[in-house]
Structure 1
Amino acid sequence: MLCLVETKREVVTKFDVVQLWENDAVGWEYVGAEGASGGLLLMWDETVFKIGNCYKGDRWLCVEGELIKRSFRCAICLVYGAHIRNEKLVVWEELSFLSGLCKVPFCFMGDFNEVVKVEERKWATTLTGSAADFKSWIQDMELVDLDLSDRLFTWFRGQSCSRIDRMLVTLEWLEEFSDTRLRGGPRGLSDYCLVVMEAARVGRGPRPFRSLESWFTHEGFLRMVKE
């Protein structure tokens, strides 16, 4: 699957998609840009992924369907985050509703326009309020923020650098693809570098146990573990 953020295209045609994909065995959905701002495009191999439903917001695009060979139902959501804190909260609330609506393993990916660690923004010394909000949202949604091991930043402009592009997956996704990993690709002429997700099912014995920080903030968690 190929996901593009900031296409800057109000309308995307099949001709555009086939030129990018280089054959016509491609499914696709898009959210048009507003003038020269924004725009989202999702493309996939129709022999690999069968779409069931598509949902769209101003800043996100979600396809729900099945990975055919695995008979694995899932949803993939491409996100282009807002710049203002209140607007970011609205987007995250919409994504929470979407997750509850689909009720399948999820992968959220894209430009979230936010960091979750101080070291993910060059020269930053503290997390902003919206960054703290974003970190709490990830924990509340019980999402796993996949590590990008070979690159510290994904966005560059002048002397400014941040890691605002990420992939967040549910535990059910990792149960199916326990060897999911991210790697950085070339930056080219863009402000952003390419981010590649490689997902594989590895049948090498028991699956690893994973815990979430948010569990330990629940009042009855430690008592439940003890019992």
Structure 2
Amino acid sequence: MGNFNEIVHIEERKGATSLSASAEDFRTWINDMELMDLTLNDHKYTLFRGQSCSHIDRILVRLEWLDAYPDTQLRGEPRGLSDHCSLIVEDRRIVQGSRPFHSLDSWFTHKGFLRMVKEEWRGLGDTQFLDKLKALSKPLGRWHNQHFRNIPEKIKRFEDEIKKVDDMVSNGLYDGTIEARRKALVRCCEIWYTRQDIHWKQMSRS
């Protein structure tokens, strides 16, 4: 599995009209090794560079492997900050449960967090310190739900928007406005990737 830097079919590269000699050699190698290319149905291309789009990332397996793992499927992830889309091989029988709530160190990456805490703290007046801490938990919870609830979902929304832009490029639409929109979406993704990374480190006590 990985980036093989070569297509296998003409339709795997936008605008291609024929296969190169290296592509033909790659196809011959796949056949000689008796490998199968796992089907990727949710992405037409896996590499995007400007107007150039190709499907060069793939998972190659033997028939014996498919017999041993019949419930697997291949799906593509939005490419996010990379030129490439990640490929995920997953077992369709696995269902992940929800994670418990934890306060997040990533709150401190939000420029409005400390201001909110100061305002809420002042608003509690001369109450005893421990009572103020307890009372502060409610506005903190509301603020968390408004700004930080379900970080993966927020990232997914931005990645979906990036994928829409990539799909437009795949279909031949490309101009400065589209590229500017993608750059803006990527900047937002970078912020949330950082916050998610902080969260994971906190959860793993790293």
Q: Which has the higher helix share?
A: 2
Alignment TM-score, normalising by the size of structure 2: 0.44
Question: Higher relative CO (CA 8 A, sep ≥ 6), structure 1 or 2?
Answer: 2
Alignment TM-score, normalising by the size of structure 1: 0.40
